Amino acid sequence: DARVTQTPRHKVTEMGQEVTMRCQPILGHNTVFWYRQTMMQGLELLAYFRNRAPLDDSGMPKDRFSAEMPDATLATLKIQPSEPRDSAVYFCASGLREGEAFFGQGTRLTVV
Amino acid sequence: EDKVVQSPLSLVVHEGDTVTLNCSYEVTNFRSLLWYKQEKKAPTFLFMLTSSGIEKKSGRLSSILDKKELFSILNITATQTGDSAVYLCAVENSGGSNYKLTFGKGTLLTVNP
């Protein structure tokens, strides 16, 4: 049963540490989104890729966040250095057709 | 900047009640509006709406889009406790061959027995 897989599911880290979140999109999907969800802001789009090329990362703080797709089966979101305000659930979603976004289960990040 | 506003932010009802959730939007290059249900984990897809006035229906849930007034509603009839969730509205901005989804903050629905 095809699904978007995210790892890790939970991450607790100290402020200043590097955090890497990984996403395996559904096989064959050519669009990958990274979202961050908090109580205050809801779901915010951080970045998205089409055919592995970054199309829009304007929602991402560039000084500490980076997103890449080293290959079609892996997307990464990195935070360096992490800060307490980065604590949130980070979702990856993938799609093939317009309007499609199948979500992974999310990575719950806590920065202490 | 694309904007999606949902109301109410939260709603508490009793089983059997009918609820209407609202979503208004401002977006350049509108392509579609989508509704998602989020329980404890990932959002799951409910509806995609592209044309005004055409109701989409799935069981007790239905939704309709008004592209002139820039809003959509999601109706749930005969609510059940299993309908308790956050309902998210998203709009798709399509520039050329690319597309992205902008989400509202959601409506938290609580259905009490």
E strand or H helix that includes residue A106: none
What is the rounded average pLDDT of the residues B35-39? 94
Q: How confident is the model over A38-92, as pLDDT tens digits?
A: 988 889 989 989 899 988 888 888 899 999 999 999 999 999 999 999 999 999 9
Can you tell me which residue has the tokens 């055919």?
A: A51
Which among A1, A44, A98 is the top mutation candidate for probing chain B, defined by the most B β-carbons within 10 Å of its own β-carbon?
A98
Q: Please give, rounded to a whole number of angstroms, the shortest distance from the CA of B21 to a CA of chain A.
A: 17
Q: How confident is the model over B69-106, as pLDDT tens digits?
A: 999 999 999 999 999 999 999 998 876 556 778 899 99
Contact B105 A99 (CB under 8 A): no
User: Omega into A61 within 30° of 0, i.e. cis?
Assistant: no
Q: How confident is the model over A74-84, as pLDDT tens digits?
A: 999 999 999 99
Report pLDDT for A76: 97
Is B40 within 8 Å of chain A by CB? no
Report pLDDT for A100: 81
Report pLDDT for A1: 63
Contact B45 A31 (CB under 8 A): no
A40 CA to centre of own chain: 18
**Structure token digits, residue B54:** 């055409």
Report pLDDT for B97: 53
